[in-house]
């Protein structure tokens, strides 16, 4: 007995969901995977060929690459090779993190899911990455990120937070309301500690 039909999710053919997600969502990985011998610009041109609509012309793709280089503050290192940490000198760790974001935003997703964007960066570079994230949210993008043990400065840059303990959500809401919430359930933040 054969069964035929289509599966729809919110009125969209389930087979089309992946295509829809590719255009609306972007995933910024914690660990960058680059071809270290490419320059920053060569990498983005290659990514544009892979990620952007095939109907776009090469000149449209290159124009988007130029725009993203500027948005992510990578124009000064666009002709520098990416490098391989510990093997081939290239761009800095902060520039690598911004290049990861740049690769993902080429096709202008509205939602970015970001895994540990500040991991392995010193406080200055971590703050610069958070500033880029803030800039993207100011441009209308929604950002969901995982950050373990953020500094006070990074924590203060967040709008909404979800706090988990052992995989269970214990708080979801505006960052500014978290301290009052925990004080109301008799778990105040000590005055000599970072929130």
Q: What is the mean pLDDT of residues 56-80?
A: 95
**Residue range 95-147, pLDDT digits in tens:** 998 999 999 999 899 999 999 998 888 888 888 888 889 989 998 999 999 98
In terms of pLDDT, which residue wins out, 77 or 18?
Answer: 77
Print burial letters for 58-94: b (CB count within 10 Å at least 16), e (below 16).
eeebeebbeebbebbbbeebbebbbbeeeeeebbeeb
**Residue range 29-41, pLDDT digits in tens:** 888 789 999 999 9
Q: Could you tell me the pLDDT band of residue 54, with boundaries at 50, 70 and 90? A: confident
In terms of pLDDT, which residue wins out, 175 or 11?
Answer: 175
Quote the CA–CA distance of 163 and 178 in Å, as a whole number.
9
Task: List, in order, residues 6 or more apart from 142 with CB less than 8 Å away.
Answer: 110, 111, 112
pTM for the complete prediction?
0.78
**The pairing of beta strand 160-165 with beta strand 168-174:** antiparallel
Q: What is the mean pLDDT of residues 73-79?
A: 95
Per-residue model confidence (pLDDT) at position 42: 98
pLDDT above 80: residue 178: yes
Per-residue model confidence (pLDDT) at position 22: 66
**Residue range 143-165, pLDDT digits in tens:** 999 988 888 888 888 889 999 89
pLDDT above 90: residue 65: yes
Q: Rounded to 5 degrees, what are φ and ψ at 43? A: -60, -45
Per-residue model confidence (pLDDT) at position 63: 97
Per-residue model confidence (pLDDT) at position 176: 87
Q: Rounded to 5 degrees, what are φ and ψ at 88? A: -135, 115
Closest to 114 measured CA to CA, from 144, 83, 136? 144
What is the layout of strands, in order, in the sheet containing 111-115? 25-28, 111-115, 142-146
The CA distances from residue 122 to 5, 96, 104, 117, in Å, are: 53, 13, 23, 12
Q: Could you tell me the pLDDT band of residue 20, with boundaries at 50, 70 and 90? A: low
Domain 13-146 bears CATH identifier 2.60.40.10: no
Per-residue model confidence (pLDDT) at position 193: 77
Closest to 145 measured CA to CA, from 103, 112, 98? 112
Quote the CA–CA distance of 98 and 118 in Å, as a whole number.
11
Q: What share of the chain is helix, strand, coil (3-state, %, to 5)?
A: 45, 20, 40
Per-residue model confidence (pLDDT) at position 160: 92
The domains of the chain are located at 13-146, 159-195
The CA distances from residue 3 to 6, 10, 102, in Å, are: 10, 22, 44
């Amino acid at each position: 007995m054969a069964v035929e039909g289509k599966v729809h999710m919110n009125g969209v053919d389930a087979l089309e969901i992946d295509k829809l997600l590719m255009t609306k969502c972007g995933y910024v990985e914690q660990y960058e995977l680059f071809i270290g011998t490419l320059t920053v610009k060569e990498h983005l041109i290659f990514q544009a060929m892979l990620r952007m609509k095939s109907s776009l012309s090469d000149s449209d793709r290159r124009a988007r690459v130029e725009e993203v280089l500027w948005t992510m503050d990578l124009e000064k290192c666009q002709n520098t090779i990416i490098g391989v940490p510990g093997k081939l000198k290239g761009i800095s760790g902060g520039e690598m993190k911004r290049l990861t974001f740049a690769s993902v935003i080429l096709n202008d997703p509205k939602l970015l899911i970001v895994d540990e964007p500040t991991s392995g960066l010193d406080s200055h570079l971590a703050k610069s990455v958070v500033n880029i994230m803030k800039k993207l949210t100011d441009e209308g993008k929604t950002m969901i990120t995982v950050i373990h043990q953020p500094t006070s400065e990074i924590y203060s840059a967040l709008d909404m937070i979800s706090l988990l303990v052992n995989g269970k959500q214990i708080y979801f809401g505006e960052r500014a309301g978290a301290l009052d919430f925990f004080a109301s359930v008799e778990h105040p933040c000590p005055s000599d500690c970072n929130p």
